[in-house]
Amino acid sequence: MTIYLAGSLAFDRIMTFPGQFEDHILPEKLNILNVCFLISNLEQKRGGTAGNIAYSLAMLGEKPLIVASVGTDFGDYECALREHDLPLDGIRRVPGTLTAGAYIMTDASGNQITGFHPAAMNTSSDYAFSHAGPADFALIGPTNVADMRRLPRVFRDKGVPYIFDPGQQIPTLTGPELLEAITGSAILISNDYELELIRESTGKTRGELAALTDCLITTCGGSGSVVRQGGDETHIGIARPARIVDPTGCGDAFRAGLLKGLAAGLPLCDCARLGAVCAAYCVEHIGPQEHAFTLADFTGRYRAAFGAMPQLGGFDAASQYHRG
C-alpha cells in the first residue's frame, strides 16, 4: 500500500504576537485596514501540508510518497526527508525559483494570520501515478491549483480512495470545482471555518456536502473534531497536550494520525482519535516538524484520552523518531 500526499512543501516563518489581534483592529475601519503587529519571536521551520503530514506518518511507521514542486533552496529540506527515509520520486525540482514560503503570525489566543507565497508550487508536480490503484490511499491537500483540479479525476479513474482537503486554496477554486472534487471522495476534511467557506462557495448545506462524500470530518481546534458518516455524527475529543506552544501544523498532524488509522483498516472514529493524539504532540512545539514520540509514549497518551489503543502495524515499539 502506498499513501500519496499531494500537497505543499514550504518553509514556514513562524511569528509570535504576544497580544490579541482583535485589540488592534477597528471593525468599523476594515475598509481602510492598516495595522502593524510587533512580534516577539521569529523562527524558520520546515513545513507545507505534505511535508508536515509525511513527518508524522514516518513516526507512525509509514513511508508516504510526497507529490509536490520545490525550488532551488530545497537542499536542507531534502536532506531531512532522506534522513527519515522518505521517498523523493514524487518531488519535482523547478529551476530558477524558490520553494514555497508561509508567513504565519499567531496571537496569544491562538488566532493566526498567514501569508503564503507559492513560488515553485505555481508549477504542477506533473506526477503520473502510474502504479496507483485501489489498494492505495491518497490525500489532496492545498497545492498547485491545476493539480487540485486534476487529481480527483485521476484517483477516481484509478479507484484510489482519496481525502479532499482544500484548506487555504478554497478561495482559489470555484464552487463547481470544489463540488467536482468532493463528489466521490472517501473523506472531505476541513476545519470548521473552512467548512463554512466551502458551504458559501458551493451553496450546499453540511448535509448536502456529506451526501457527496463517504465521510465528512471537521476539526474544531481545542474542541476536538466531528466525524459525519452515513447520517451519523460523532464528536471526537482531544488528547490533552502537556503544554500549548504553537498550533502551526496541528491539523496536518491530525491528518497523519487519520491516515495511519486508514492504512491499518480501523473504523473512522478510531482513525480520528489517532489524529487527535498526534496533534497533541505537535502543539507542544514551535513548528510543525519538531515533535517526536515512541510507541510507548503514543500508546500512553491515547489510553489516557480514549482508552485502549487499537493495534497498529509498522509502528516499532523500540523505535524513536528523531527530529532532523
How do residues 239-264 score in pLDDT, each as one tens digit?
Answer: 999 999 988 899 999 999 999 999 99
Residue 3 pairs with which residues in a beta bridge?
Answer: 137
The domain that contains 192 carries what CATH number? 3.40.1190.20
- In the three-class reduction of DSSP (H, G, I as helix; E, B as strand; rest coil), residue 222 is classed as helix
- Grid cell of 113 as nine digits: 494570520
Does residue 324 lie in a domain region? no
Q: In what order do the strands lie in the sheet with 41-47?
A: 41-47, 10-16, 100-106, 112-117
Does residue 50 lie in a domain region? yes
Phi/psi at 138 (5° precision):
-140, 155
Does residue 82 lie in a domain region? yes
- Grid cell of 264 as nine digits: 491499518
Does residue 167 lie in a domain region? yes
pLDDT at residue 314 in the model: 66
H helical segments located in 205-287: 206-210, 250-263, 268-282
Longest dimension (CA), the chain: 58
Distances (CA, A) of 114 to 20, 34, 103, 144, 228: 15, 16, 5, 18, 29
pLDDT at residue 110 in the model: 85
pLDDT at residue 323 in the model: 37
What's the whole-number mean pLDDT along residues 49-76? 97
Side-chain half-sphere exposure of 12, counting CA atoms within 13 A: 26
Where is pLDDT greater, at 3 or 109? Answer: 3
Distances (CA, A) of 9 to 99, 156, 167, 302: 7, 24, 15, 29
Q: Please give the share of the chain, as a percent, with pLDDT higher than 90.
A: 87
Q: Please give the share of the chain, as a percent, with pLDDT higher than 70.
A: 97
Backbone angle region of 302, left / alpha / beta, with phi > 0 → left and psi within -120 to 50 → alpha? alpha
Does residue 317 lie in a domain region? no
pLDDT at 322 over 70: no
Where is pLDDT greater, at 112 or 92? Answer: 92
Number of structural domains (the chain) is 1
255 in Cβ contact with 163 (< 8 Å): yes
| CA 9 distance to own-chain centroid | 11
Does residue 31 lie in a domain region? no
Please tell me the total number of residues recorded for the chain in this structure.
324
Does residue 315 lie in a domain region? no
pLDDT at residue 317 in the model: 38
Give the number of other CB atoms < 10 A from CB of residue 157.
10
Q: How far apart are CA 147 and CA 79, in angstroms?
A: 25
pLDDT at residue 30 in the model: 86
Can you give the residue range of the structural domain that contains 98?
A: 3-22+41-306
**pLDDT tens figures, 162-189:** 999 999 999 999 999 999 999 999 999 9
pLDDT at residue 318 in the model: 33
Where is pLDDT greater, at 259 or 313? Answer: 259
163 in Cβ contact with 28 (< 8 Å): no
Nearest to 269 by CA among 280, 258, 278: 258
Does residue 201 lie in a domain region? yes
Q: How confident is the model at residue 230 (pLDDT cuts 50, 70, 90)?
A: confident
- Grid cell of 305 as nine digits: 484520552
**pLDDT tens figures, 2-60:** 999 999 999 999 999 999 999 999 889 889 989 999 999 999 999 999 999 999 999 99
Q: How far apart are CA 6 and CA 124, in angstroms?
A: 11
Cell 450546499 found at: 204
For the chain, give the mean pLDDT. 94
pLDDT at residue 319 in the model: 39
Q: How confident is the model at residue 312 (pLDDT cuts 50, 70, 90)?
A: confident
pLDDT at residue 315 in the model: 65
**pLDDT tens figures, 136-154:** 999 999 999 999 999 999 9
How does DSSP classify residue 228?
Answer: E
126 in Cβ contact with 92 (< 8 Å): yes
pLDDT at residue 231 in the model: 87
pLDDT at residue 18 in the model: 95
Nearest to 225 by CA among 293, 273, 282, 163: 273
Where is pLDDT greater, at 245 or 236? Answer: 236
**pLDDT tens figures, 259-287:** 999 999 999 999 999 999 999 999 999 89
Give helix 49-59 / helix 250-263 axis angle, nearest 10°.
Answer: 50
